[in-house]
Structure 1
């Protein structure tokens, strides 16, 4: 598929006049195109196409200083301010392991990069072959603008055209029927886990989808919850100053916040964390299921909340703050247990 850029540019301009507060991702859906196709209409004006090895670019992002990292999917937007530190790659898998910016990067999905200037709000934006946003890096008032301009110049593409080729969406692989799964073996392996990172391999070993795996979990190790309980867990964590970990993912990036949450605000269908260094925006209408899971590790049970969208995609995980070698926080377990208890009593 190729973009009829001139026509789309006109439609995009008309849309913005009629919907000045609409986000580009929402506009793209309403116009029936990808976000990248809308963005590329600005090449030569507000947008610069980037090229080269994006791994090398990311290694240099630390020169920008204090920035805002944004990773999202259809359901959640995760924004975290800080400095890109300890950036490393093992082939196409990358890590950013600073105390503030904490990322897992899957570079085989990173197809396009752009430098964007939206009314002097400068950013680096990266997209997959389907035109879906993977990760964005926004400058703040504390960022190094000269370093940004140098980085854009170094990775500026020779191709500054306003045309691109969008790949078709990936086909979703259907889960096997439950009857085809070795459920006793799967449950036994679940109970034998020594690390939460083993869970992905466990799903692959038994050919089980993640949501399906929670349905087939050993008794007492997975429970379907309501959105109200999820929000109560956040409220408990905020009231009691419990440090939590919030993972938001798409196929190309996982972004993690570790720390407290304080300012919780409901705005229509959006449930928000609005703290100085961390913002989370959760569209409740797009959440299909929330699960409470308990996974054994060498350090004891690890309790998590897992969110799924209406396609069955896992879009977020929430844990109490923890490190390997240490049991999870008792205060986190109590925050979850109290939210469950309140739901049962109606308090």
Structure 2
């Protein structure tokens, strides 16, 4: 059995930063076998301030910053929205920011480590608020823009700072992604209860009751509830939605935060393995080669069927979900159904 890899000292981390100033923080952290939060902690007092990660403090403070960019990511997708933080609703288990531009679902127990970051770049100072979970993985980031309110930023440094000046950070081991979990003996119960759903949020409770998870249920449910799609159909889905100007709701989320874009998409710019939506106010960077399974899913609701396309990675982790917009007076669900029904089937349904 090999010895565990020793965590580099804060001074060694700072030396690595100095040696690789252009390398993305996430990539350098991976090279050093540390978390991104530990990389920031090593810079405490050097442009980095430890702050509270409590969303009940952070979200109202973010409202004072004016226009910013909100970023939420998983390994295979980065979701970026420009707008103002407003209309925050607190909750013990789930909170939300709900407005036209920035639409978040927040799970406070995973908001563990917070940092206020000021870094020099070729384009001037870069300022951000960054939140991480217990393992030191990014949960949510808020990046200031040219027009952001610097007075609000200065006030944040005083009101949110914890006073912790340590340049070391203890993190917990990363929780593995839960693989697909099915129980074929309960298939008939699953299908019967699925047909009775009246809200999409009831679905995960149903899976939990049957000791399954989302992907596990999809793998056994069959028609008319799910259809396995060719993973390469991600491009087709986005291209047709763009060409037909079909409004979509595109979700990307980790354990601590889900971020949602609602509206049409306009500009697709593929680059290598990445498919990129590059619209004013909304960017998505998606690693298409990481989409191992793609599913078309239909769930009954009181407002009609909710049809989604959902992408999963090889470990069973959810990368994204995409729905048609179903708001009154702005109902894109029929157009979205047409797009989804035309997507090609997978050549092989996962076992």
TM-score by length of 1: 0.91
Asked if 1 retains the 8 angstrom alpha-carbon contact of 2:309 and 2:340, the reply is: no
Asked if 1 retains the 8 angstrom alpha-carbon contact of 2:232 and 2:288, the reply is: no
Q: Distance in 2 between matches of 1:177 and 1:334?
A: 29
Superposition RMSD in Å: 2.1
In the TM superposition, residue 118 of structure 1 has moved relative to its aligned partner by 2.3
Greater mean alpha carbon deviation, residues 100-109 or residues 291-300 = 291-300
Q: Which residue of 2 aligns with 1:167?
A: 172
Secondary structure class of the residue paired with 1:44: coil
Asked if 2 retains the 8 angstrom alpha-carbon contact of 1:28 and 1:38, the reply is: yes
Asked if 2 retains the 8 angstrom alpha-carbon contact of 1:190 and 1:218, the reply is: no
Map 1:192-207; keep pairs closer than 5 Å: 192-207=196-211
In the TM superposition, residue 326 of structure 1 has moved relative to its aligned partner by 8.9
Q: Distance in 1 between matches of 2:53 and 2:275?
A: 38
Q: Which residue of 1 aligns with 2:29?
A: 28
Q: Deviations over 1:236-267 (max 9, x none)?
A: 11111111000000000000000111100111
Greater mean alpha carbon deviation, residues 47-56 or residues 128-137 = 47-56
Asked if 2 retains the 8 angstrom alpha-carbon contact of 1:302 and 1:328, the reply is: no
Q: Which residue of 2 aligns with 1:302?
A: 306
Asked if 2 retains the 8 angstrom alpha-carbon contact of 1:196 and 1:297, the reply is: yes
Q: 1:178 to 1:2 in 2, by over 3 A?
A: same
In the TM superposition, residue 115 of structure 1 has moved relative to its aligned partner by 0.7
Greater mean alpha carbon deviation, residues 272-281 or residues 90-99 = 90-99
In the TM superposition, residue 327 of structure 1 has moved relative to its aligned partner by 6.7
Q: Distance in 1 between matches of 2:237 and 2:182?
A: 33
Q: Which residue of 1 aligns with 2:3?
A: none
Secondary structure class of the residue paired with 1:158: coil
Q: Which residue of 2 aligns with 1:84?
A: 85
Q: Which residue of 2 aligns with 1:103?
A: 104
Q: Which residue of 2 aligns with 1:135?
A: 140
Secondary structure class of the residue paired with 1:163: coil
Q: Which residue of 2 aligns with 1:64?
A: 65
Secondary structure class of the residue paired with 1:311: coil
Q: Distance in 1 between matches of 2:261 and 2:181?
A: 34
In the TM superposition, residue 271 of structure 1 has moved relative to its aligned partner by 0.4
Q: 1:235 to 1:196 in 2, by over 3 A?
A: same
Which of the numbers 7, 18, 41 marks the counterpart of 2:12? 7
Q: Which residue of 2 aligns with 1:289?
A: 293
**2:340 matched to 1:336?**
yes
Asked if 1 retains the 8 angstrom alpha-carbon contact of 2:53 and 2:111, the reply is: no
**2:216 matched to 1:215?**
no
Greater mean alpha carbon deviation, residues 321-330 or residues 1-10 = 321-330
Q: Distance in 1 between matches of 2:216 and 2:262?
A: 28
In the TM superposition, residue 226 of structure 1 has moved relative to its aligned partner by 2.2
**2:325 matched to 1:318?**
no
Q: 1:213 to 1:148 in 2, by over 3 A?
A: same
In the TM superposition, residue 319 of structure 1 has moved relative to its aligned partner by 0.4
Give the gaps of 5 or more residues in structure 1.
Answer: none
Structure with a larger share of its residues in helix: 1
Q: 1:172 to 1:259 in 2, by over 3 A?
A: closer
Which of the numbers 147, 158, 163 marks the counterpart of 1:153? 158
**2:245 matched to 1:241?**
yes
Greater mean alpha carbon deviation, residues 287-296 or residues 5-14 = 5-14
In the TM superposition, residue 173 of structure 1 has moved relative to its aligned partner by 4.9
In the TM superposition, residue 317 of structure 1 has moved relative to its aligned partner by 0.5
Secondary structure class of the residue paired with 1:182: helix
Q: Which residue of 2 aligns with 1:121?
A: 126
Q: Distance in 2 between matches of 1:62 and 1:8?
A: 33
Runs of 4+, deviation exceeding 3 Å: 171-179, 323-328, 338-341
In the TM superposition, residue 174 of structure 1 has moved relative to its aligned partner by 5.6
Aligned residues: 337
Q: Distance in 2 between matches of 1:320 and 1:204?
A: 26
Secondary structure class of the residue paired with 2:82: strand
Q: Distance in 2 between matches of 1:175 and 1:338?
A: 26
